[in-house]
Structure 1
């Protein structure tokens, strides 16, 4: 299932993730490597391995914005722990959770576009 050919029509989540990664790349000027917990490719472990091959000393991992859920709280930290063991010369930073106030400001800006 991970290697299934995805399009915006058959997998809008994947397409939206790719679009967000492209925008983040443009906005930050950084190399953005997309990884998925399940169903899509590359897996988080594959993405972390790819990042470890880069010249970057620090690899920053960020999940979706909201707190809660097993992926952010358990699965991603476990994948990072495994990557740290495998790639001891790299620093892996988990940029989560996001400050609630920052999320509220972002959402407030979005709401203000419509009122």
Structure 2
């Protein structure tokens, strides 16, 4: 089973996660067979390690971690690889891949430009 974890920073306000929940629903609409989860760096649950553990517990064979950040900063360069290294040690049979930062994809930048110009 393929698992996708949409990984974001997190916030104290639970309303902050609504767009991420909508993104999860949009991914599921296109890939209903996938296990799509949210995970957060801080303030919200589940954490990235907890989401990976949960994906493994339901039988995922591979996990794609998608950083839902606008740009690759210190968290994505330093913190996430360390978390994934630990997760790989806990789940050696699980293939875990870190995807590129979502906000740096040209199609995402183009979509944001269209919204800016439409406003």
TM range (shorter): 0.7 to 0.9
Q: Size of the alignment, in residue pairs?
A: 105
**Runs of 4+ in structure 1 displaced over 4 angstroms?**
none
Shift of 1:93: 0.7
Contact kept, 8 Å, 1:65 with 1:103, in 2: the verdict is no
Q: Could you say which residue in structure 1 is the equivalent of 2:14?
A: 11
The answer for unaligned runs of 5 or more in structure 2 is 1-12
* Equivalent in 83, 87, 90 of residue 86 of structure 1: 90
| Residues in 1 aligned to 2:47 and 2:69: alpha-carbon distance in whole angstroms | 19
Q: Greater relative contact order (Cα 8 A, min sep 6): structure 1 or 2?
A: 2
Q: Structure 1 19/100 Cα, relative in aligned 2: closer, same or farther at 3 Å?
A: closer
Greater strand percent: which structure? Answer: 2
Shift of 1:52: 1.5
Give the CA RMSD over aligned residues. Answer: 2.2
Shift of 1:111: 4.5
TM-score, normalised to structure 2, is 0.73
Q: Could you say which residue in structure 2 is the equivalent of 1:20?
A: 23
TM-score, normalised to structure 1, is 0.75
